A and B are shown apart, each in its own frame.
Chain A
Amino acid sequence: MSKKFNCSCLVRILTYMIILTTSQNNYADEIDNLEDEFLSDVPVILTGSRLEQPRSEVPASQTVLTSEMIEASGTRDIPSLFRLVPGFQVARVNGVTAVTYHGNSDIYSKRLQVLIDGRSVYTPLFGGVDWSDLPISIDDVERIEVVRGPNGVAYGANSFIGVINIITIPPDLAQGNKLIVEGGKQGTGRMYYRYGNKDRKLSYRLSVEAKKNDYYRGVADDERRQKINIRGIYNPDTVNTLDFSAGYITGDNSKGDGRVNDPFRREDITSYYQQLVWTRQVSNIEEVKLNFSYNYHRVNDVWDAFFPIPANLLITPPPAPIPGIIVPYQLSLSGFEKRYNFEYQHTKRFSKQFRAVWGAEVRLDQVSGIYDFGYFNTADTIDNHLYRVFANTEWVANKDLNVNGGLLIEKNDITNTNFSPRLALNYHLKPGHTFRSVASIAYRTPSAFEDRANGVIDLGGIVLPPFDQNILFRGNQNLKPEKMTSYELGYLFEMPESRSSIDVKLFYERIRDIISDFEDKTATDADNEIDPAYITGGKTDTWGIEAQAEYRPGRKTRLWVTYSYAQLKGQYIEKRLVNGTFVSRNLSGSVPRHTVSFLVSHKLEQDLSVSAGYYNVSSMKWVGGDETGGYNTMDVRISKRIKAGSLKGRYEVIIKDALKSYFDFDRAYKKEPVVLVSVSMEF
């Protein structure tokens, strides 16, 4: 029976193959259906959720980094791209990359939300984003949408100074094979391979990348990463879409400065994620979306430290100190974080004048220091439950005026309930000219570390002199969330047919309840010092003006320019003296007065193009960094396309930081020119 079945099946397949191979020559079939092209219906492809809101109707200041800009910039790491966004600063030190908007940040920049295809990668353990550990490659990126300003109303807490939404290439647009091999000075090397395929209902792509970089000369901060990710889109019919993706990244990097208690060593990282998004196009005007995702991130960094112990404190056993005065002790900066997220979103256009999107989100974040001597002095996970409901409405009051109003209510274990509202008016003066005004409130929830850190060195009762109670760091469960109130006035001028535009924005940002780590000298411990502990109390007021412009002087030339002017007044709490008075640290130098970027690309001939990115950041001082004194830098790129039969390729030579050397955070970390050669092939 089964044999017969197999047999007839084989015959059928063979028959199909014959039909398939001959049908191209069989003009009869072709003719019969040619008019269908003109008469038959096709599914809607640019559905409501795929269509971006017109720029003139976006209730926020937005910068979109397109694949064209990414290519022209010659950048190979995602964070460096944000130098092309007005008001943004990027720095790297000690293996950590920071991206911030309007300065006011340390290297762990905790106030910016980052999403990949709508999935937050903001880390619950320390806050901020581990840019080195993103499970996607820059070559998986289709475009990046950056909201300049808070957007708590859409994405909840931590969408504080801005939101970066990285959108990866849909599998439909990544078909076939692509291979990139590149290498350069400073141990820079990268291999990327992508494969995409599809049939009528399913399309998918798979990409792998291995990457290494020695970064700064003379500093042990080299980094290696290997990643793999897959994304598939399944359309069982014309109304349902399943978009699933998964990725895995692993790697290691140098840590330590070579001193006894901070020896040279390797840190290992592992991270992975899964996501499933189900979209149902209920009708032309209504859509329902369910988004499930899971993130895991783990850092392993354990080493032996040696603490000298005064003879009078020596106890044996336990522990058994090395006879004399030194106790070996394992220290750990290890931890893992897990995130389970579920989101429901409903969009509906009720009339030509009124559109709304509403929904709810549930999240569980679990973090752990892995070892019981780790960050939290417990082997248990620290859990944070989060619940959100949100609604956003768009009302077209008349043909010239759009009113956007929204509210997000969030409850979480750390700060309880917060309300993030936004009101925006977009006024269309005449076609191509739009004024907008936006007012919004957003919050930043203290990270698990700021909330619950408890770094205790337990030496079986021995109290070490440098560490009273042997506490290395301590959280504060009474911290309030940081609060941002933002007002902006914008003007957008567009000439869409030649794709030229100018956007200018005046802003005022008021941040209160800034959390800082501080030295508390009032502590009544042995040496009157606990460092660091966290406290609420800093504040800043930032105002300024910024602009972005896109211009096409001709068919072959593209130009993108940004400028930002900012002034900041404010401080954070640095110390509490023995007499109880607080000492604050002025933050006014933490934002550069001027930030400028130019990106230009020009096609010399059909297959040869050149591009250059120029960046100027006036003097600033990151919290924990040195005064930079201002710097200019430029990346230059030459690209030549080649074609051989069905093989298409590209050579590229990129000189990064082609001007003189400079530093962007710490004077010991100097950026110098790096030459990179890249070859890519598509087949």
Chain B
Amino acid sequence: MVVSKSSKPYQIFREQLKKTLANDSSIDISIDVIMIDELNQVFLDDVDSDSYKLLVTVGSKAAKKMSQLDSKKAVLNTLLPKRSYQLIIKEVDNKNLQRYSAVFIDQPLSRKLDLIRIALPDIKNVGVILGPSTASRKKELSDIALKKNIRIESKTINKTGELLSTLNDVLDDNEVLLTIADPVVINRSTLQSLFMTSYMKRIPVVGYSRAYVRAGALIAVYSTPKQLAQYTGELIVDMLKGSKMAARKLYYPKYFSVSINERVARSLGLFLKSESKIQSDMQLKEGGS
């Protein structure tokens, strides 16, 4: 397992993954962990040897580094957004593509819309702002929304300077703002205007991380590093048990959490179900469909 960074989320991920693997009694798995900046030739030479069956990367940096390696080993990229995975895979030779499976950090769009359906059942009009790197998801978004009986208005901006006026338009016509990670739309310097404008117009924001909920989003569905590691562990066990190691598979996180900013909810006068109730309703819905 190659890890991108040593900060807390990566540590938690590492520890949980080890624990999950250790707890599984059906198969005996040993795992070697190496930090990306400790990578040395000895290890790299060893990668292709029989001592490792699967290469797990944690974070985008490690995923990228390993994708540049000339190896035949199956790779499971974890703790990275779908967008990074796509960018990395673009550079990979087509015949090697099958080796790269991934567990994304981001939530599937259908889950985000389920969140809105369940937490804010009276809301019918959802606004979304896409940027250059998410513009391609416009169609996917409206298809899923159609299935969920939600009306989505998505507008695309090409540069950050266009955000405020587009945001105003979208907020005027919709009852909730759904955020989708795109560095042109949402970054540290736009976050303030985004949350404040929405709040002033009394439009709740649906975020995609716990930090955003603390900063001012009303609600978010996200997976913690621990949940991601748990799922990754289960997948690794399956992969090592099964025979089709090489088949490329992409997974959205199975386990997720819902977090609500109670103060924002109260200030907007919204009465929401509890976090755990929303979460279990969502799980029920996913299980049923």
**A682 closest partner in B (C-beta):** B165
Q: Which residues of B contact A56 (CB under 8 A)?
A: 269
Q: Does A661 contact B (CB under 8 A)?
A: no
A216 to chain B, nearest CB (A): 36
C-alpha gap A497/B269 in the complex (Å): 9
Please determine whether A496 and B81 come into contact, CB atoms closer than 8 angstroms.
no
**Residue numbers in B under 8 Å from A648 (CB-CB):** 165
Task: Identify which of A30, A38, A44 contacts B214 (C-beta below 8 A).
Answer: A44
B200 on interface, CB distance cutoff 8 Å: yes
Q: Is B17 positioned at the interface, with any CB of A under 8 Å from its CB? A: no
Q: Which residue of A lies closest to B222 (CB)?
A: A38
Interface status of B59 (Cβ within 8 A of chain A): yes
Q: Is the CB of A45 within 8 A of B209?
A: no
Q: Interface stretch among B42-50, B189-197, B230-238? A: B189-197
Docked Cα-Cα span, A589 to B173, in Å, equals 44
Partner of B266, one of A45, A54, A646: A54
Contact with A46, one of B125, B186, B199, B225 (Cβ below 8 angstroms): B199
B61 contacts A by Cβ under 8 Å: yes
Which residues of chain B come closer than 8 Å to A46, judged between CB atoms? Answer: 195-196, 199, 215-216, 261, 263-264, 267
Nearest Cβ distance between residue B153 and chain A, in whole angstroms?
10
**Chain A CB within 8 A of B9 CB:** yes
The answer, among A67, A200, A431, for a CB contact under 8 Å with B200, is: A67
| Residues in B neighbouring A198, C-beta threshold 8 A | 189
Which residues of B have CB within 8 Å of A55? 269
Taking CB atoms, residues of chain B closer than 8 Å to A68 are: 172, 201
Check A35–B79 contact: CB distance below 8 A.
Answer: yes
The reply to whether A31 and B123 contact each other, CB–CB distance below 8 Å, is no
Contacts of A52 in B (CB 8 A): 267
Residues of B within 8 A of A170 (CB): 196
Q: In the complex, are the beta carbons of A34 and B60 less than 8 A apart?
A: yes
Is B93 among interface residues, defined by CB-CB distance under 8 A? Answer: no
Against B, the Cβ 8 Å flags (1 = close, 0 = not) of A636-674 are 000000000010100000000000000000000000000
Chain A residue contacts of B263, Cβ below 8 A: 46, 48, 51
Known: A56-B269, A497-B175. A34 touches B81 (CB 8 A): yes
Within the assembled complex, what's the spacing in Å between the Cα atoms of A66 and B195? 17
* Chain A window 162-198, contacts with chain B (Cβ cutoff 8 Å), 1 for yes, 0 for no: 0000000010110110000000000000000000001
A553 close to chain B: CB less than 8 A:
no
Q: Given the known A-B contacts A31-B87, A31-B88, A34-B81, are A39 and B9 also in contact in the complex, defined by CB atoms under 8 Å?
A: yes
Q: Mark B1-31, 1 if CB is under 8 A from A, else 0.
A: 0001001010000000000000000000000
Residue in contact with A498 in the complex, picked from B122, B165, B189, B264, CB distance below 8 Å: B122
Q: Considering residues B106, B161, B199, B269, which has the most beta carbons from chain A within 10 angstroms of its beta carbon?
A: B269
Contacts of B202 in A (CB 8 A): 66, 496, 499
Q: Which of A48, A143, A173 contacts B164 (CB 8 A)?
A: A173
Q: Is the CB of B60 within 8 A of A35?
A: yes
Q: Are B196 and A172 in contact (CB under 8 A)?
A: yes
A interface size (C-beta, 8 A): 51
Given A30-B87, A31-B64, A68-B201: A42 touches B269 (CB 8 Å cut-off): no
Q: Which of A32, A34, A38, A497 contacts B270 (CB 8 A)?
A: A497
Indicate the size class of the contact surface on chain B.
Answer: 35 or more
A33-91 CB contacts (< 8 Å) to partner B: 33-35, 37-46, 48, 50-57, 66-68
Chain A residues with Cβ below 8 Å from B81 are: 34-35, 37-38
Do B271 and A431 touch (CB < 8 A)? yes
Q: Is B208 an interface residue (CB 8 A)?
A: yes
Interface assignment of B150: CB less than 8 Å from any CB of chain A: no
B80 at the interface (CB under 8 A from A): yes
B139 smallest CB distance to A (angstroms):
21
Task: Report whether A42 and B212 are in contact in the complex, using a CB–CB cutoff of 8 Å.
Answer: yes
CB neighbors of B among A485-504 (8 A):
494-499
Assess A28 versus B64: contact at CB under 8 Å? Given A42-B212, A43-B215. Answer: yes
Closest to A46 in B: B216
CB pair B192–A45 under 8 Å, yes or no, is yes
Contacts of A31 in B (CB 8 A): 60-61, 64, 84, 87-88
Set of chain A residues within 8 Å of B106, measured between Cβ atoms: 38
Contact of B211 among A40, A57, A67, A143 (CB under 8 A): A40
With known contacts A34-B83, A39-B225, A555-B125, A200–B60 Cβ distance under 8 A: no
For residue B125, which residues in chain A have a CB less than 8 angstroms away from its CB?
555
| A541: interface (CB < 8 Å) | no
A142 on the B face (CB < 8 A):
yes
Complex Cα spacing A82 to B87, Å: 55
Q: Give A35 to B201 CA distance when docked, in angstroms.
A: 30
- Shortest CB-to-CB span from B260 to chain A, Å, is 13
B145 CB → nearest A CB, Å: 15
Further 17 A-B residue pairs, CB within 8 A, beyond A497-B120, A555-B125: A34-B84, A37-B81, A37-B186, A42-B211, A42-B215, A45-B191, A50-B196, A51-B263, A143-B200, A172-B193, A173-B193, A173-B197, A176-B164, A200-B188, A497-B270, A499-B202, A646-B161
A-B interface, 10 closest residue pairs, ranked by CB to CB distance from nearest: A46-B216, A497-B122, A431-B271, A496-B269, A45-B216, A39-B9, A45-B195, A54-B266, A34-B84, A51-B267
> Can you identify 7 A-B contacts, CB atoms within 8 angstroms?
A31-B84, A34-B81, A38-B81, A54-B266, A55-B269, A170-B196, A198-B189
